[in-house]
Structure 1
Amino acid sequence: MITYVYLVCKSLSLLFSSSALDTSIITYDQTHLKTPRFPLTDLELASLYENWLVGHGKTYNAAGEKERRFEIFKDNLRFIEEHNSVNRSYKVGLNRFADLTNEEYRSMFLSGTMKRVKLNRMPGRNNSNRYVVRVGETLPKRVDWRERGAVNSVKDQGQCGKSICVFMCLFVSFIFLLVEGINQIVTGNLVSLSEQELVDCDRSWNKGCNGGNVDYGFRFIINNGGIDTEKDYPYRGVDGTCDQNRRNRRVVSIDGYEDVPANDENSLKKAVANQPVSVAIESSGRDFQLYQSGVFTGSCGTSLDHAVVVVGYGSENGIDYWIVRNSWGPNWGEK
């Protein structure tokens, strides 16, 4: 299942999505979240924790680990209660990261500060003014590529076979979201493409589960003449040997890629009106870690550490937002 954030920052506002904004997201049961009575008794806290463990399929094998995670869980619950007691445009809650400290979350699911790779000399990558908004040009007030069938389902990064593969899975997921979406826009067919082929076969620039770069992924697809389908070259989430026969089954291809003008939201809107667009954001905050619903108006910095895809934009209660597709599974953000 895809998860979304509806995001608003000074330079980029995000919405991480479900259609309805649930403002009561503190207490967990297996079907929905309810507002608890604070303070909870020790028995109520223990019951809440056990229900959360069951709902998220969590088990701990190390001695004392369940108890240690319970202390972290309770600390996150205190943060959630404090945050949601104030009238904000977004809510935080007991999502899949509720048993992690913020340091653990950043270490396990973010890629550190992303450094821009200098690829200006690489063929196929363009710096153009195509998305500069001209004088008198009118942009759509609302865009949502989900409604147009151009957004495919995405695998949860947590399915990667080892933690170091999470970052490569992140890059691959967003490369294919863009290519699949553009192919649907052009041909009308939404085809799931082979992420595993990129992990196995793109070793000239990317390094399998040991890391990679979005630009390099695009270069591989261009140089290879296309990419195979997910059905033919299925996803495993671990490094493998490149299947040369399947690599040569080129179902979807791209001709090139380009940058949207930096620090220009109107140019980004124009680009998103044409197709989904990949962006990098800073997502290290505790409120982002525990985000549940609503238009995210929390702190947004410039230490970019996470790749997401903008699949639309709009306005809600006077707040302009971007619809941002993430890949942390159904237990984070809106659906």
Structure 2
Amino acid sequence: MLLVFTIYHCCVTGLSVKSIGGQKRKLRSEKEIKWLFAEWQVKYDKSYDTSMEESRRIKIFKDNLRYITEHNRPENNHSFTLGLNQFADLTTEEFASIYLNSHLNVEPSSHASDRYMPKEGEQLPNFVDWRRAGAVSPVEYQGNCGSCWAFSAVGAIEGINQIVTGNLMTLSKQNLVDCERLSNGCFGGRTSSAFQYVQKSGIDTESHYPYQGVRQPCNPIKESVVYIDNYEVIRSRNEISLQKAVSSQPISVSIKSNSTDFIFHKKGVFSGRCGQKLDHGVLVVGYGREDGKDYWLIKNSWSTFWSENGYGKIERNINAPFGKCGIAMNPSYPVIDKPYRLYGQSSKTIQKMPLAGA
């Protein structure tokens, strides 16, 4: 069950509750909660097989709603707000089993690089947003599939490919879920394995190899339209190095995300609880400062209903070795030295040839 009762304990059918400060606060009635739940079901197209299952989901929904309402009270003075989204009928345990990735670990040191090691006296931009440069494809939804690793890796490849070629291509996450065999498809994977696959075999477009949200046999007629030359891991694993990297290209990172605060993040700079271990892959597409707080701008794969149209701001420059939610613990990125023109119609006949004059 979500961490509701750390704030206060009560029966939701009551009219008021005494808070820690001693003041009575009015609660929503059972009728109002059921109305909100029905409205939420319509918005997110939710239905259940039995009345018993629906009753269980209403109870979880009430717990989550109560937590969100308490968090958002002005007197709590949080830097961010929470809101109901498509996950409101899940416990954190259920959420983790469906959407998160137990295979995310620190990437191999054999690919560690000093490419983005800050130099003494070096000035970095105060604000970066790769969306404005046209290097970020639209937010998508991974569905009931633990494929965040593929979304993170593909986003980084799309970004560097656009930076090098000037052309933003939306690439296939399903291609990786089906064909990258060092990972486990919808049961988790690693961005390093994804990068290795694209370096060797290339990757198809989203339109030609669309996302299904389940692992299927690798499509034998896939077309490899983008390759990478290598991938690297930021050796120093600190926020300054990550800032320099993000000022040059979108970066794949792993974070600790299994907390009620993060799951229901709606707006503002996230500074809440994160969880205990790396469990989710996202893409850092920028950074900046808002309301006196430095932030990282991340692109998530939980649809546009999460946070601010699918993008969230996470507190930056905090007093912790690896940053908020471990964001600087596992950063990696693809390398493209020069663009390629591709010949052939399938992965079996592809040859990659440098563009003339490149």
TM superposition score category, shorter chain reference: 0.7 to 0.9
Query: Relative to 1, partners in 2 of residues 1:78 and 1:201: Cα closer, same or farther, differing over 3 Å?
Result: closer
Q: Secondary structure at the match of 1:157?
A: coil
Which residues of structure 2 form unaligned runs of 5+?
A: 1-24, 310-358
State the one-letter code of the partner of 2:248. N
Q: Does 1:52 align with 2:28?
A: no
d(CA) in 1 for partners of 2:185, 2:62:
37
Which of 72, 81, 91 is matched with 2:60 structurally?
Answer: 72
Deviations 1:70-105 (A, max 9, x none): 111111111112111112110112111111122222
Residue by residue over 1:18-44, the C-alpha shift from the partner in whole angstroms, topping out at 9 and shown as x without a partner, is xxxxxxxxxxxxxxxxxxx94222222
Residues 95 and 231 of structure 1: CA distance in aligned 2, closer, same or farther (over 3 Å): closer
Partner of 1:171: 149
Residue 297 of structure 1 is matched in structure 2 by 271
Q: Which amino acid aligns with 1:281?
A: I
Q: Which residue of 2 aligns with 1:89?
A: 79
- Equivalent in the alignment of 1:330: 304
Match of 2:49 in 1: 61
SS of the residue aligned with 2:247? Answer: helix
| Matching residue of 1:214 | 191
CA distance 1:197–1:332, shift in 2 (3 Å)? same
| 1:236 aligns to 2:212 (yes or no) | yes
* Percentage identity across paired residues of the two chains: 47
Q: CA distance change for structure 1 residues 199 and 104 in 2, over 3 Å: closer, same or farther? A: closer
Go from structure 1 to structure 2 and tell me whether the alpha carbon gap of 1:305 and 1:262 turns closer, same or farther (over 3 Å shift): farther
Q: Bigger CA drift: 207-216 or 286-295?
A: 207-216
Kept in 1: contact 2:139–2:301 (CA 8 A) = yes
**Which residue of the other structure, out of 30, 39, 43, is the alignment partner of 2:27?**
39
Partner of 1:31: none
Aligned residues: CA RMSD: 1.9
Structure with the larger RCO, 1 or 2 (CA within 8 Å, 6+ apart):
1
Give SS of 1:293's match. Answer: strand
> Quick one: distance in 2 between partners of 1:331 and 1:154?
10
| Corresponding residue SS for 2:157 | helix
1:115–1:328 distance in 2 versus 1, CA, 3 Å: same
> Which segments of structure 1 move beyond 6 Å, counting only runs of 4 or more?
none
Partner of 1:199: 177
Shift of 1:299: 2.6
1:227: which partner in 2? 203
Could you say which structure has the larger radius of gyration? 2
Partner of 1:130: 115
CA deviation map 1:248-278 (0-9, x unaligned): x331111111111344211100000000001
* Aligned-partner Cα distance in 2 for 1:196–1:281: 22
| 1:291 partner letter | H
- What code does the residue aligned with 1:214 have? T
Could you say if the C-alpha distance between residues 90 and 181 of structure 1 is closer, same or farther in structure 2, counting changes exceeding 3 Å?
same
CA distance in 1: counterparts of 2:248 and 2:224, whole angstroms? 25
SS of residue in 2 equivalent to 1:64: helix
Alpha-carbon offset, residue 195 of structure 1 = 2.3
- Range with greater deviation from structure 2 (322-331 or 253-262): 253-262
On the 8 A contact 2:104/2:189 being kept in 1, the answer is: no
Aligned-residue offset at 1:306: 0.9
Tell me how far apart the structure 2 counterparts of residues 98 and 185 of structure 1 sit (CA, whole Å). Answer: 38
Q: Distance in 2 between matches of 1:180 and 1:267?
A: 21
Counterpart for residue 271 of structure 1: 245
